[in-house]
Copies of this chain bind each other. A is one copy, B any other.
Amino acid sequence: MTDEDRHGACGPLPAEHGGFIREILDRVGDKWSLLVIALLRDGPRRYTNLQQVVPGISQRMLTLTLRQLTEDGLVTRTAYPEVPPRVEYALTPLGESLLDTATALVNWASTNYGAIRAHRESNA
């Protein structure tokens, strides 16, 4: 155990050896993931619908975000072989396990936006 590792002694964070928590944080805390997850709370959504409800997301980023979330097992992708094609995205149990925390963070942001804004400008 190196000196750099022994901060666990005074921290409640379990097993943050290396940077894998950072890896997940980057994944989940990226530009759009949490928002997409939060928006899937009410049930499956279609690609185009997500594009509409996520303000300002580009086709590219929506596709990449969804692909990443699917690869990580947080959402499922279901394609119905119809014409016109229909694809639905929904949360997996793993994705749902993140929902509470994601929502809490979004709510925190929503609640404290004013305070942050105010404090930021008071020290301008």
Contact = CB atoms under 8 A, between A and B. Distances in A.
A14 B14 CA distance: 32
Contact of A97 (B52, B101, B112, B119): B112
A26 B106 CA distance: 11
* Chain A facing B: main interface SS: helix
A64 interface: no
Contact of A52 (B3, B56, B116): B3
28 contacts: A5-B55, A7-B39, A11-B41, A12-B103, A13-B38, A13-B106, A14-B110, A19-B56, A21-B35, A22-B56, A24-B109, A24-B113, A25-B106, A29-B29, A71-B119, A72-B119, A73-B116, A73-B119, A73-B120, A94-B112, A94-B115, A94-B119, A98-B108, A98-B112, A100-B104, A101-B101, A101-B104, A104-B104
Interface of A: 3-5, 7, 10-16, 18-31, 34-35, 38-39, 41-42, 52-53, 55-56, 71-74, 94, 97-98, 100-101, 103-110, 112-113, 115-116, 119-120, 123
